[in-house]
Structure formats: C-alpha cells, structure tokens
Structure 1
Amino acid sequence: MIAEDSVLLRIGLVKVVEMAGFEVAAEAGDGQELLAAVEEHRPDLAVVDVRMPPGFTDEGVRAALEIRQKWPSTAVLMLSQYVEERYAADLLATNTSGVGYLLKQRVADVEEFIEALRRVAAGGTALDPQVVAQLLVRRASDPLERLTARERDVLALMAEGRSNAGIAAQLVVSESAVAKHINNILAKLDLPKADADHRRVLAVLRFLGVGARACRVPVLRGVM
C-alpha cells in the first residue's frame, strides 16, 4: 500500500517496490483514501507520507496511528521530507513491531530503502539515521550519559533497527564485541531482568524517550 500525495513520487515508489518483488495492492493520495484502502485490502505493509491533504500537517501520521490500532498486522513505514522525530516516538508508543520512519531522500538509495521495507514488513523497525542523531542531542542529560561513546553508537544503530550483524558491519567490529556492548548497555540502563529481546526493545524505547505505555507491547524476537 502506497500513500503519497505527490503523483510523481508515488509512481516512483510503486516502480521501486515492484522491482524489488513487492505487490502494490492499492495507492492513495490522502489519509481517508489510505484508511479505506487498508480496510479493503489489509496489506502487509503501508508506506505513508507524513504530510498529506487537506492540511499537509500530520494527516499521514494520524492515519498510520489509526491503522496500527485497527489493523495491527499491517506494518507502517512513514516517509517525511524533514526530520520530525516525535512522529517516530508516537508510532513506537503504540506498538514497537513493524514500524519505520525514514526521510524521503533515503528512497534514492534503493538498496537501503528496500532493506528497510523488508525489515519493517518482517516486524522490525527502521529509523532514519538523522532522526537518531537528533535524539542523541536531545537526550544528552539522562541515564544514557552512563554509556560510553561506543555504547551510544551501538544503541543508536539498534534504534535504526539494525541486527547485531548489521551493527558489527557498520562499526567494523566482531559480533561478539557488539553483544558485549549490548549487555553493558542493558546493565547501565538498569533495565529489568527479562527476555533478552524484550530488554533490547526497552533499551531502544528508553533511547527514544517513549513512555511506559510502549513497554507493555508484545515482545519482538530477532528483528532488531
């Protein structure tokens, strides 16, 4: 499902995802069309523009939140022209599974964009690096200060939705080193003893500044 008011960009998105093997069930130009199409087709994934008619403010985000509430099996990847990290936090506050938030410029890197689509469709997360960078600045005075620079790098990549292997490749270190950093992060953030995957999600939520409501969502396994 593709929801984008710019006809040219919508056509481009359709071509890109179809070339990657996705089937586009429907297209929409505004939030109401999007909701009607999702109700009819129940897609596995919806790619949604943040700002759509009629107000071009947060219509796409509000539609995405409604989708996550009514049809939680539909994953949502938001696309935005600008970094507005609060929208990513809003989505994660309702459900941490199958959520993405990327800048539209990322579409130009087709391989990375398709990787993000597949990750979100599989139940993982994909956050734009610029969103993560802004969160690092905004969250400067909190328990995250306990983390070393390398541990903050690892947590930032976790927030982008990367796996241990992906983090290791990005930082040019071994997967065992990444696992050690993650264990240190979980300990320093004083997260409750629980399933390892659940604690990993909690660490990312702490990083994003998402409230306790999100910490009660179902546990993600092997997707972040």
Structure 2
Amino acid sequence: MRIVVADDSVLLREGLVRLLVEDGHRVVAAVGDGPALVAAVLDHRPDVSIVDIRMPPTHTDEGLRAAIAARGHLPGTPVLMLSQYVEPSYADDLLADGSGAVGYLLKDRIARVEEFLDALDRVARGGTVLDPQVIAQLLTGRRQDSALGSLTARERQILALMAEGHSNTAIMQRLVVTASTVEKHIGTIFAKLGLPPDDARHRRVLAVLTYLRG
C-alpha cells in the first residue's frame, strides 16, 4: 500500500515508517503538521494515511481537523487516526460523513504489530475500526436512547464488534456461532436502529455512528 504518515514526534514517525516499509508498504510522505498532511494527501492520493490526532501548534485536535479537511477534498480517502488518550467525540467526528474508511486507535496498539497492521488494512479497504478501549469507555456510564436500549445483550455485543471493525466472518468466529446467526442479528440491529435497506457497508457505518451517539 501507498501510505502517508503524519506525526509531529520524529521518533514515532520514523518508527512507523520503518515498520511499514519492513511490512512491504511504501511510505510516500512523512510529515509533522496538519497543513503538510492535507498537501501530502492531495498530492499523493495514498491508499491510507496514518495521522496523530494531536499535532502543532496547540496539540489538541489539529491532526483530526486536517484529516477531515483532506476527506473533504477527497471524500472517503482512508484515514487511521492515532491518539495517546481515549476521546470518543473524536471517533464521532471521523464517522460523521458516513462514508467509512476510518479508524481510531490508541498509540499503544502499535506495539501489537499484527493487530495494528490488520486494522490499517481494514481501514484501507473501506472498513471502520475503533479501539476496544474507546468502545469500553462508551459502554461505561452511558445512557442509551430508546433505539439502543431495545437491543439485546447479544445484539449490543455484535454492534460493539462491528464498531471495532470486525467482518461478519470474524464475528462468527469470535462468538462461535453460524454465519446465518450473525447475519440475522445484524439485520435485527439495522431494523431496531431504523436503518432502511441500503449498501451493507454504509449501513454498518451508520449503525456504529448511532452507537457512538447513544
């Protein structure tokens, strides 16, 4: 894959470049601020970009804003965001356009190389990947609206796995159930959340967005 890396930490940036190159990918640009990220994405049109949420000058959400700006110019361009901290609202901002091809992982996840590279691949292929810790925080102390509250425990479990970016096959293997069981549960989830028949991947993104906004 052709990849853009954006992180103001030279150490982490170069570490990511080395990791990606060793895995057979091509890093077409490695930058350290938001404007440079937007320029690199528009110039190179990478298969996916890896972006630190907090970058100069204020180290708040410049990376996130730059990624959203890049997707404004190139709708659906895949972006995997990295953060040192869990901030569910960032995931909500990323998913807001409903087009998918986004991910939000904690930086600690990079140390789990295979898991990190798998998440990167899923985002590049148009999937949505949220860090399990983000999902866990969303579940803690959250007041569910009537639609989410109508989901059964198994349906909430499956929706959480969808939010982590798992395919139907992966969910089937994780829960040790049949493919038809997973499909039935997902169909019920879509119905309870009021998501009419549409492109399957698009509905998955909308379901995850509803989950986040619950």
Contact 2:100 2:205 in 1 (8 A): no
Q: Which residue of 2 aligns with 1:38?
A: 41
Distance 2:190 2:76 in 1: 29
Gaps of 5+ in 2: none
Q: Which residue of 2 aligns with 1:162?
A: 166
1:188 to 2:192 alignment? yes
Normalised TM-score (structure 2)? 0.90
Q: Which residue of 1 aligns with 2:120?
A: 117
The 1:101–1:22 alpha-carbon spacing in structure 2 relative to 1, beyond 3 Å, is same
Q: Which residue of 1 aligns with 2:66?
A: 63
1:153 to 2:163 alignment? no
The 1:95–1:180 alpha-carbon spacing in structure 2 relative to 1, beyond 3 Å, is closer
Residues paired across the two proteins, number: 210
Contact 2:98 2:202 in 1 (8 A): no
The 1:208–1:138 alpha-carbon spacing in structure 2 relative to 1, beyond 3 Å, is farther
Amino acid at match of 1:186: F
Distance 2:38 2:7 in 1: 13
Amino acid at match of 2:121: R
Contact 1:126 1:160 in 2 (8 A): yes
Distance 2:203 2:100 in 1: 14
Amino acid at match of 1:147: L
Contact 1:31 1:63 in 2 (8 A): yes
* Partner deviation per Cα, 1:38-79 (whole Å, 9 max, x = no partner): 232222211000001111111101101101101225311100
CA RMSD across the alignment: 1.8
Distance 1:198 1:75 in 2: 15
1:178 to 2:172 alignment? no
Gaps of 5+ in 1: 211-224
Contact 2:138 2:212 in 1 (8 A): yes
Amino acid at match of 1:120: V
How far did 1:139 drift?
A: 4.3
Q: Which residue of 1 aligns with 2:213?
A: 209
Contact 1:96 1:125 in 2 (8 A): no
Give secondary structure in 1 for the equivalent of 2:57. coil
Larger mean CA deviation between 52-61 and 28-37 belongs to 28-37
Contact 1:126 1:161 in 2 (8 A): yes
Larger mean CA deviation between 114-123 and 27-36 belongs to 27-36
